[in-house]
Structure 1
């Protein structure tokens, strides 16, 4: 039986990658923020691309007010650059910001691993186990986009299991730059298999209560993308600010 969190996740996944279209006005700003953020993180809206507030408002069938609010929140997260009375564009990838967020995430996830490894009852890992199972299926189906979202869910589930769900929300709000780097790295040969390998190692260590092995697996897993920075930049130089190329 699929856990409720995973059912909701799976149902929200559009296999054709199509836009969600018109949305309810009751939470327009939040929904537009989520929709635009997903498109930026997935690189559908690539770094440096200009965005029109009017076009976005027309697309979603809302006024420009919720679009403005959503854009301001995305600017706070470092994903948009808003030039008043001029233009709004998707920010270039900031490597320093990515490294800072990685430091925060590693610190949290190491403590998460220690906490779960010390637990006697491992039933809290059920959602993470199922996320890993669904990742295997996503790779078998060649659905890289769904695989990436399940990767996010795997780590979210671990934070939730350790009672640190709010910290995962903090990490997510700051992860725009590092997540874009990961999505640039994800199509590389062997990368999805590598992610699944480390997810399996992490779960195995946590289930065995092996704190040392869990910490080692978390460190190795989270270091992968930044270690490939040179290669990623060489393939996508226009996605980075000139000073970072």
Structure 2
């Protein structure tokens, strides 16, 4: 976990933001949007948190215009919402939305893993194996954010193998909408189970077992909703039906 995220975890979410450097000032709105998106996805700003525009401006060293423009884009992406007379807050995670994005991912990624298991290059198998080893190291070191990046890369390796860029684009959009939910349920136990699920997917691909690979991928994605419902029972302030 980065020092900024550690600082945010200790009580001040605005410490997850950084002052913009010279190279980033060419696109102020884009840089502010990305920084806020990262802070929201990694839960520095929790679901339901109110956002203080002035605090963002001061922390990042920018005027109110790029902050307002960035928040407008994040609202269109469903990450924040404007509450009349109150301001802007981070949207709660909504299970109904999560189920829709998982439906899309399941439909496309189950077929992806079928294709990969049918004809997978040795280089791709090696890349998956190396990624799994790094996942194992991240789990052992309790590096939640590192594991999350490796998780994304594991799925991207398979999407790249089938060489269908439109499919990858659609999956990426739906996957981005799930990032916050994945972070909410990323307990050490969940990371261990995710690693085991990834291992089953890899083993099926390596064994050229198409149906086993499809079942493993389907079960892996289904676990997100199951875990999120359990989490919602504990923290209804962060998750809505």
TM-score, normalised with respect to structure 1: 0.83
Structure 1 runs of 4+ aligned residues shifted over 6 Å read: none
Aligned to 1:109: 109
Deviation at 1:51, TM superposition (A): 0.8
Instruction: Using the TM superposition, name which of 107-116 and 162-171 deviates more.
Output: 162-171
Counterparts of 1:149 and 1:14, CA distance in 2 = 13
Q: Which 5+ residue runs of structure 2 have no aligned equivalent? A: 8-15
- C-alpha distance after superposition, 1:176-229 (max 9, x if no partner): 553322222221x63212111111111122223221111011011111121234
Aligned to 2:231: 232
Aligned to 1:14: 2
Whether the 8 Å contact between 2:25 and 2:31 is mirrored in structure 1 is no
TM-score, normalised with respect to structure 2: 0.84
Deviation at 1:47, TM superposition (A): 1.1
Whether the 8 Å contact between 1:112 and 1:164 is mirrored in structure 2 is no
Counterparts of 2:142 and 2:93, CA distance in 1 = 26
Whether the 8 Å contact between 1:122 and 1:207 is mirrored in structure 2 is no
Q: Residue 186 of structure 1: SS of its match in structure 2?
A: coil
Whether the 8 Å contact between 1:125 and 1:157 is mirrored in structure 2 is no
Aligned to 2:208: 209
- Check if 1:75 corresponds to 2:72: no
Whether the 8 Å contact between 1:117 and 1:206 is mirrored in structure 2 is yes
Over the aligned positions, Cα root-mean-square deviation in angstroms equals 2.3
- Say if 1:120 and 1:42 are closer, same or farther in 2 by CA, change over 3 A: closer
Superposition map of 1:142-161 within 5 A: 142-161=142-161
Instruction: Using the TM superposition, name which of 88-97 and 39-48 deviates more.
Output: 39-48
Counterparts of 1:197 and 1:211, CA distance in 2 = 18
Whether the 8 Å contact between 2:82 and 2:89 is mirrored in structure 1 is yes
- Say if 1:118 and 1:27 are closer, same or farther in 2 by CA, change over 3 A: farther
Superposition map of 1:131-146 within 5 A: 131-146=131-146
Counterparts of 1:127 and 1:72, CA distance in 2 = 38
Aligned to 1:54: 54
Q: Residue 82 of structure 2: SS of its match in structure 1?
A: strand
Q: Residue 146 of structure 2: SS of its match in structure 1?
A: helix
Deviation at 1:46, TM superposition (A): 0.7
Counterparts of 1:122 and 1:156, CA distance in 2 = 16
Aligned residues: 229
Counterparts of 2:126 and 2:35, CA distance in 1 = 28
Counterparts of 1:65 and 1:126, CA distance in 2 = 47
Aligned to 2:10: none
Q: Which 5+ residue runs of structure 1 have no aligned equivalent? A: 1-12
Q: Residue 228 of structure 1: SS of its match in structure 2?
A: helix
